[in-house]
Structure 1
Amino acid sequence: MTPRPITFLIFPDFQLLDAAGPIAAFEIAERHRPGSYRLRVVAARAGPVASSSGATMNAEAADEAAIDTLVVAGGEGTRPALLEAPLIDWVRRTATRARRSASVCSGAYILAEAGLLEGRAATTHWSRTADFRRRYPGVRLEPDRIYVRDDGIWTSAGITAGIDLALALIAEDLGEAVARATAQQLVVPRRRPGGQSQFSALVDMGGASGRFADLLDWARERLSEPLGVERLADQAAMSPRNFARAFVREIGMTPAKAVEHLRVEAARSRLETADEPVEQVAAAVGFGDAERMRRAVLRAFGQPPQALRRAARSTAAEEGSGAP
């Protein structure tokens, strides 16, 4: 077997984990299936490249060497990198030679600047949504996804989503058993589907500063009840208008969307751990009917409720059999 050349593009002020996370995943997969990958880090110029943390990573000069997969890191240095025309040209040329191209977090800007995302579905970190849409209106941005695949172009959200992306690429190459073994070594979940919401963790924390943590805990206990803006605002002791504005600033989504996320997370938990009929789950978590829940689950996780249930049962059966 000829090793697949996996090339990671970095630049000054890149986010260290955007590169290191996927590199570690491919490295571990290589241990499980020796001869599968050959890893390489490149930059516009050879030498040590400082990340935004100050820690450096050595890189070779970007060239025309054979490549299977291009992975572009993100980070604060993305925007200056967009102004380097030779680098953007290199990305464009390389993508035409590579079997697939991918980005982590704001690395999507570099793929978009190279014209690789035009007319395609893509994602990036939720905090970049408005700016990205303004800069690249021809991209079908899906900011609620952990990662998105559109033909041979893959994009992912921030930092840890780069590991999800790498595991998906590994599964495509080497199969689920190797991807699962790699995830176990990394001590991360393998089953997190690509469609899962990247907002879930932010909602769990109650926002960037935790301001609405108590309110969302209160809402979680009442998912079967109506949870409109007025009721949430009253619980938060704010006027509906001020509450809605503050909530969007803090959480990054509307109150209605956040409540939907709470409900789909609760629905997923019940679907995966209990044998309740789908209709009963829908009523218990506040969707009212199964079709409304199906649409919401599909938006959030990229899979319908029954697929989530089947995947959970399949994984439980594999773990019970001692499969790697």
Structure 2
Amino acid sequence: MQRRVVFVVFDGFQLLDLAGPADVFAAATLVARADGYGIEVTASRAGAVTANTGITVAAPTAIGDVTGEIDTLVVVGGLSVAGHLPDPVLTGQIARLSGLARRTASVCNGALLLAEAGLLAGRRATTHWLAAADLARYPQVAVDADRIYQRDGDVWTSAGVTAGIDLALALVADDHGGRLARDVARGLVVYLHRPGGQSQFSAAMRARGTAPDESMRELLAYIDSSPGDDLSVPALARRAGLSERHFARVFAERTGLPPGRYVERSRAEAARRLLETTDHPLDRIARETGIGAPETLFRVFRRLWRVAPGEYRRRFATH
């Protein structure tokens, strides 16, 4: 039998929060067929619901009329979420449907609706980075705004907008394994989902985007392209023509990360790419990326992405 997926929408919702995950579930159904997904859309009232783009979608059933077992409940987000938080009927019905569901998920700031419904109390959750402070106002929620998605038991939350696609791929992988999730990702021409949650943006993207001058951007590009080189603070300071103390201060001010932490993240991401695209043994990957030893590679992966390198490769290798 197909798994029943119910999306909760509302006026002003983010269209991609619905369309992205729905396309993932639909693509998985093409492959899994009888063991795929049946998609339903519901809202406070039955009928047309207008997204933030002005496009309308049909909600055949009012949320109060939805009954029966649900496999996955997905609450979307959007700029209008704040206006819907005071609606006790909507949040009450979300809580009721969650009780009927095997698992509950939110996309983007839809996490605020889950929190308002009391579904995130005592749980770790993520959301769009712009909404992280709003989610943190719920004192019983442990907010981790640096994740693409977060799973805490039977409740899943995701970061902003397109991260809903990563979330849906994670749900498919949880149901059917990594191979089907990879096939779906390739079919939709999106990046493979990362396991266990990871930074919303890579260290390189964050730092390059905030570095205000060309010399710093060039230095960051050098670090990212040369993970096996000597990237110690003394070596980088010499390359930048600064004293070590001044370099460390300037680097942190301009990128938001201490140089050692940036180098570690950059090397870990280089190792992640090699795990995805090569058959190199772990000791070679650790050596070529400047991480050193397989034991260090393991510790870095567990700390940053909460997964062992070998498990990451088994689930997400593309070669």
Contact kept, 8 Å, 1:234 with 1:240, in 2: the verdict is no
Displacement of 1:288 in angstroms is 4.5
Displacement of 1:74 in angstroms is 1.5
Deviations 1:72-113 (A, max 9, x none): 111212222212121111111111111110011111111122
Report matched runs for 1:202-241 at 5 Å.
203=205, 206-207=208-209, 213-223=217-227, 224-226=229-231, 228=233, 235=240
Cα separation, partners in 2 of 1:232 and 1:56, compared to 1, 3 Å: farther
Structure 1 position 68 matched with structure 2 position 71: yes
2:160 to 135, 158, 165: 158
Cα separation, partners in 2 of 1:53 and 1:205, compared to 1, 3 Å: farther
Deviations 1:7-33 (A, max 9, x none): 111122221111110111122223334
How many angstroms apart in 1 are the aligned matches of 2:23 and 2:189?
A: 12
Q: Which residue of 2 aligns with 1:322?
A: none
Equivalent residue of 1:207, what SS?
Answer: helix
Q: Which residue of 1 aligns with 2:274?
A: 270
Report matched runs for 1:159-178 at 5 Å.
159-178=161-180
| Structure 1 range deviating more: 59-68 or 72-81 | 59-68
> What is the one-letter code of the residue matched to 1:261?
R
How many angstroms apart in 2 are the aligned matches of 1:41 and 1:65?
A: 13
How many angstroms apart in 2 are the aligned matches of 1:22 and 1:141?
A: 22
Cα separation, partners in 2 of 1:230 and 1:93, compared to 1, 3 Å: farther
Unaligned runs of 5+ in 1: 317-324
**Percent identical residues:** 43
Cα separation, partners in 2 of 1:208 and 1:75, compared to 1, 3 Å: farther
Contact kept, 8 Å, 1:26 with 1:37, in 2: the verdict is yes
Q: Which residue of 1 aligns with 2:140?
A: 138
Displacement of 1:265 in angstroms is 0.7
Report matched runs for 1:96-107 at 5 Å.
96-107=99-110
Contact kept, 8 Å, 2:107 with 2:127, in 1: the verdict is yes
Structure 1 position 247 matched with structure 2 position 283: no
Q: Which residue of 2 aligns with 1:32?
A: 31
| Structure 1 range deviating more: 93-102 or 288-297 | 288-297
> What is the one-letter code of the residue matched to 1:260?
E
Report matched runs for 1:16-55 at 5 Å.
16-35=15-34, 36-55=36-55
> What is the one-letter code of the residue matched to 1:161?
A
How many angstroms apart in 1 are the aligned matches of 2:222 and 2:265?
A: 14
Q: Which residue of 2 aligns with 1:319?
A: none
Cα separation, partners in 2 of 1:256 and 1:76, compared to 1, 3 Å: farther
Q: Which residue of 2 aligns with 1:321?
A: none
Equivalent residue of 2:209, what SS?
Answer: coil
> What is the one-letter code of the residue matched to 1:73?
V
| Structure 1 range deviating more: 213-222 or 113-122 | 213-222
How many angstroms apart in 2 are the aligned matches of 1:183 and 1:9?
A: 24
TM-score (norm 2): 0.81
Equivalent residue of 1:75, what SS?
Answer: coil
Q: Which residue of 2 aligns with 1:199?
A: 201
Tell me how many residue pairs correspond in the alignment: 309
Equivalent residue of 2:291, what SS?
Answer: coil
Q: Which residue of 2 aligns with 1:87?
A: 90
| Structure 1 range deviating more: 14-23 or 79-88 | 79-88
How many angstroms apart in 2 are the aligned matches of 1:312 and 1:277?
A: 16
How many angstroms apart in 2 are the aligned matches of 1:54 and 1:255?
A: 45
Q: Which residue of 2 aligns with 1:117?
A: 120
Q: Which residue of 1 aligns with 2:190?
A: 188
Contact kept, 8 Å, 1:124 with 1:155, in 2: the verdict is yes
How many angstroms apart in 2 are the aligned matches of 1:272 and 1:293?
A: 15
Displacement of 1:49 in angstroms is 2.5
Displacement of 1:195 in angstroms is 2.7
How many angstroms apart in 1 are the aligned matches of 2:21 and 2:261?
A: 30
How many angstroms apart in 2 are the aligned matches of 1:229 and 1:163?
A: 41
RMSD over equivalenced CA pairs, Å = 3.3
How many angstroms apart in 1 are the aligned matches of 2:28 and 2:275?
A: 31
